[in-house]
Chains A and B, each alone.
Chain A
C-alpha cells in the first residue's frame, strides 16, 4: 500500500499517534505495552493517551499493511503478540515525518517573525 501523506493540520494531529507507533517500531518488534511505555517515556507528559486507544490504532495499522503481527514471547515468558514494521510501514513513516517537518518548519517561521 502506498504511503498516504496527510495534508491538513487536523489530519496531522490525528495521524500523530500512528506516526509515533510506526517510529517506535523502528527499534524492533514490540508488544502493545512496550509501545505504550516507549511513547510515554519519550514524549513525557506532552502526549497523554489512554492505554486503550493504542490498540485500535495498532489494528488499523495492521489492516493497512504497515505493521504485521506475530506470536512471540514476552518478558514474562508468556505468549505475546508482537508488532513488526513492514516495508510499506517504513515508507509511510518517512512520508509522515517529511510532512511533519514541513509543517513544523512553517509554524516555526511564523513564530520567528
Chain B
C-alpha cells in the first residue's frame, strides 16, 4: 500500500528528486573531506569529481524513475480493479434475486443478438469464400428492358478478349436443372446440374480437390466434361479419387469426370455437378441468346468504376459492330457479393438486426432500472465511502465495474442462449433464403461478438445509475433517516420505462404489420385449389424414348394407369407448379399478334410459358373463362393452339383473344423463327408468387403438341391424404418403364409448395413477433419493477394518507395514475416512432399499408392489457396498506 501511496503523495518531479539527492550526497561528502582536513573549496571539487558524469547519471536515473512510475500506475490500476471485481462479486452474491433477474435479462438480450449476428455475419459481413473476393464482379447485360439482364455467350467472350481491366471473364446458367445419372446396376437417379463456361473455375480461383477443372482445350474440342461437387463425390463415390478421368452416363450420353471441387463452389447454385457448355463456332444468332450470368475477376488494383467504364466502352464497340442484336445494350457491374446475397436477404438481416438491437436496449434499460433502484438503497453505503476519502470518479468506477461484471456474466449466459438459438434456427429458416453454402455457425466470431456486446452493454446500463448514485452530498445523506431517502433516481427511472414501453410498441407494431402481411399472403385467392394434389418430377431418360411418339406414349400410359388407381380423382402433366418452380427455370417467351407492326426484339412483351396436359385445369380447379380447354382435337399434326391467362388477354388491346394467331419465341433467342399458335381459350388468372402485386402473363401450350423432357406429374386425391398416393404412383411408373431408367424426384404436395412459397413472410413474421413478445415482457417487468419499488418506498406515505382519511380509491388513483402517465407517454412515443420506422419495411409488406390503423389499434390495446397486468400487483398491494401497520414500518 505504501508503494501505491508514493505516487499519490509524493508529487516531486523526478529531476528535482534526483537533484536534491545528489546535492545532499555531495554536501555530505564535502563535509567529510573537510573534517579530514581538506580545504573546503578543494573538498567540494573532489566530491563532485568522485560523483562521475552527473549529467549522464541524471538521464539514466530519471529514465528509470519514469518507467517505475508508469509501472506503478498500471499495478495500482490492476490492484484497484481486482478489489473492485472482488467487491462486485460480493455485492452480487448478497443480492441473489437482483443478480438472477439482471443476468437472465442480459443473457436473453445478448443471446438473441449473437444469433442474429451469426446470420448477419454469414450473409453480409463474411466475404465470398474465394481468393481476393473483392476483385470478383457480376457483369450484367443492360438492355432497355432490363438493367440486370443475362448475357449472350458471344458477347461474354468478346468482353473477355477485349477488356483491359479483367483477368478473366466466365459465365454460368443461373438455374440448376437435373440430369439422369445411370448407375452401374442399371438403375438411374436424378442429379442436379448447372451449366458453366470453361473459365468459371479460373475466375473464382477454386482449386480442385481432385483431378482438374475445365481447360480452354476442353472447349475447343467440345468435350463432354463435368466437374463433380464435393457433396456428390462424398455421398455417391465415397471420396474415391479414382472417379477422376472416368466416364459416366448422363441423360444417356457419356461424360468424362475431370475433377472435383470443394463445397464453396456451390454458392453459384445448389448443385451436384457442373457441366461445361462449349461456345465455339457459334452461329451469328447466338449473339441474341441471353442465357449466361457472367462473373469477372478484375486485375489487381482495378476499381470497379474503372472496370465499368472499360467494359462499357467494349460494349459500345459491340453494339456498333452488331447493331441487329446489341443496339442499345451495355453492361452493368456490381460486386459479386451483392449478387450472391441478394436484396431480400439483406433487408431481412437488417430488419432482424434492428429488432434485436432494440430488444437489447430494452434489456439495458431494465437492468439500469434495477441498478438505479439498488443504488438508491445503497446511497448511505456510498456516502460513507465518499466520506472516507473515495473520490466520485473512484466510486463511479467501482459501480461501473459492478455493472460490467454483471454484463459479463450475462454475456457468458448469452453465449449459451445464442448457441441454443443457432441449434434450432436452421429448422425455421426457409429454403432458398440463404444462398448456396452459407450456413449459420456458432464460432469464435459469435463469441467475440458476445464479449464486445457485454462490455458495451455493461457500460451503457451502468453509467447513468453510477453517476446518479454518486450525486449526493454525504453529510446530508448520512445524517438522514433511511426511510426518507427516496432518491433522485425516480425521474430517470420513469424515463427509462417510458423508453422501454415505446420500444416495445415499435417492435409490436412491426410484428403486427408482418403478421398481417403473412395473413394476407396465406389467404390470398390464388385462382386455383392446391388441396390434395400430389406433385413429383418425372424424368424419363432420353435414350429409352428416342422419339416424341415414344415419349408421348409413355406420358399417356402413366396418366391412364395412375387415373385407374383407387383414390385418384384427376391426373395432369405440367412443366411448372404454381407458386413453385418450373422445369425450365426462368424462361420467358416473347409474343406478338401475327400481322401487327414489328417491334424491336428487345422491346417485345414477354410471357411465362407452361406446357400442360388438358387435365391440368380440372386437376387444379382452374376455370377456363372463355373459349375451350385443350382436347383430343389438338394433336402433334393439327395446327398449334394455346390458352392464355386473363392478364395476357388484357395486353391484346381489347381484341377478343379467341382465334388470334400469335408468334411466340424464347426471349433468350428472339431471332429464332417464331412458332405460330392460335389462342383457343382464356384461363383464370393464377398467382405465380404469393405476394405478387402485378398480374403475371401466362401462356399454356398442350403437351400433345409441345414436348418437354422432364415434367411434373400432378395427382389429385379424393381424400385429404394426397401424399399417401406417392408409392402407388411410383409403382405405376416403374411398371411401365421396364428398363427402370426413369427417375422420380421432388415428391411433394401442392400445399407444401404453398407453405414453402410463403416461407419468407412466415419466417420474418415469426421472428419479429417472438422478439416483440420478448420486448413486451421485458417492458412489463420494467413497469412492474418501478411501480413495486415506488409503492415499497411510499408505504408510510400511503399509510399516512389513509390515516388522514384518504380512501382506497384515492391511493389506487395515486399509484395507477403515476404508472399510467409513464405508459401512455411510452405508447404515444412508440406510435410516433412506429409511423416513422414503418416506411423502412414497406418492401416486406403485402396487403397492408405501413400506417395500418388496425395494427395501430391492436398494438395499443395489447400493450394496454399487458401493462395493466403489470400494474395490478403493486396497485393491489398499495390498496391493502393498513395505516396502523404502515406507520410503524421502517
Mask: chain A, 69-93; 1 = CB below 8 Å from B; 0 = not: 1110011101111000010000000
Which residues, 51 to 101 on A, are CB-close (under 8 Å) to B? 51-53, 55-56, 59-60, 62-63, 65, 68-71, 74-76, 78-81, 86
Residues of A close to B65: CB separation below 8 A: 59, 62-63
Residues of A close to B61: CB separation below 8 A: 55-56, 59
B64 within 8 A of A: yes
Q: Which of A4-12, A21-29, A30-38, A104-112 contacts B (4 or more CB under 8 A)?
A: A30-38
The closest CB in chain A to the CB of B32 belongs to A37
Residues of A close to B21: CB separation below 8 A: 31-32, 55, 80-81
Q: How far is the CB of A88 from chain B (nearest CB, A)?
A: 10
Are the C-beta atoms of A32 and B25 separated by less than 8 Å? yes
Residues of B close to A60: CB separation below 8 A: 64
Q: How far is the CB of B211 from chain A (nearest CB, A)?
A: 60
Residues of A close to B64: CB separation below 8 A: 56, 59-60, 62-63
Of B3, B20, B64, B67, chain A has the most CB atoms within 10 Å of the CB of B64
Q: How far is the CB of A112 from chain B (nearest CB, A)?
A: 39
B803 within 8 A of A: no
Are the C-beta atoms of A52 and B68 separated by less than 8 Å? no
| Given known contacts A52-B57, A56-B61, A76 and B67 CB-to-CB distance under 8 angstroms | no
A45 within 8 A of B: no
Give the interface SS of chain A, mostly helix, strand, loop or mixed.
Answer: mixed
Q: How far is the CB of A25 from chain B (nearest CB, A)?
A: 15
B633 within 8 A of A: no
- Compute how far the CA of A32 lies from the CA of B28 in the bound complex, rounded to whole angstroms: 10
The closest CB in chain A to the CB of B56 belongs to A52
Are the C-beta atoms of B52 and A53 separated by less than 8 Å? yes
- Compute how far the CA of A53 lies from the CA of B52 in the bound complex, rounded to whole angstroms: 8
Residues of B close to A52: CB separation below 8 A: 51-54, 57
Mask: chain B, 654-685; 1 = CB below 8 Å from A; 0 = not: 00000000000000000000000000000000
Are the C-beta atoms of A69 and B53 separated by less than 8 Å? no
Instruction: Please report the total number of A residues contacting B with Cβ < 8 Å.
Output: 28
- Compute how far the CA of A51 lies from the CA of B32 in the bound complex, rounded to whole angstroms: 14
| Given known contacts A50-B51, A71-B10, A81-B20, A55 and B57 CB-to-CB distance under 8 angstroms | yes
Residues of B close to A76: CB separation below 8 A: 24, 27-28
- Compute how far the CA of A23 lies from the CA of B776 in the bound complex, rounded to whole angstroms: 71
B71 within 8 A of A: yes
Residues of A close to B2: CB separation below 8 A: 68, 70
The closest CB in chain A to the CB of B60 belongs to A56
B50 within 8 A of A: yes
The closest CB in chain A to the CB of B27 belongs to A76
Residues of A close to B20: CB separation below 8 A: 79-81
Residues of B close to A68: CB separation below 8 A: 2-3, 6
Q: How far is the CB of A57 from chain B (nearest CB, A)?
A: 10
Are the C-beta atoms of B25 and A36 separated by less than 8 Å? yes
Are the C-beta atoms of B6 and A51 separated by less than 8 Å? no
Residues of A close to B18: CB separation below 8 A: 55
- Compute how far the CA of A63 lies from the CA of B52 in the bound complex, rounded to whole angstroms: 23
The closest CB in chain A to the CB of B50 belongs to A51
- Compute how far the CA of A36 lies from the CA of B50 in the bound complex, rounded to whole angstroms: 12
Given A51-B47, A56-B60, 18 more A-B residue pairs with CB atoms under 8 Å apart are A32-B25, A33-B24, A33-B25, A50-B50, A50-B51, A50-B52, A52-B57, A55-B21, A55-B22, A63-B65, A63-B68, A70-B6, A76-B28, A78-B24, A81-B17, A81-B20, A81-B21, A86-B3
- Can you identify 12 A-B contacts, CB atoms within 8 angstroms? A31-B21, A51-B25, A51-B47, A51-B51, A52-B57, A55-B18, A56-B60, A56-B64, A62-B65, A68-B6, A81-B17, A81-B21
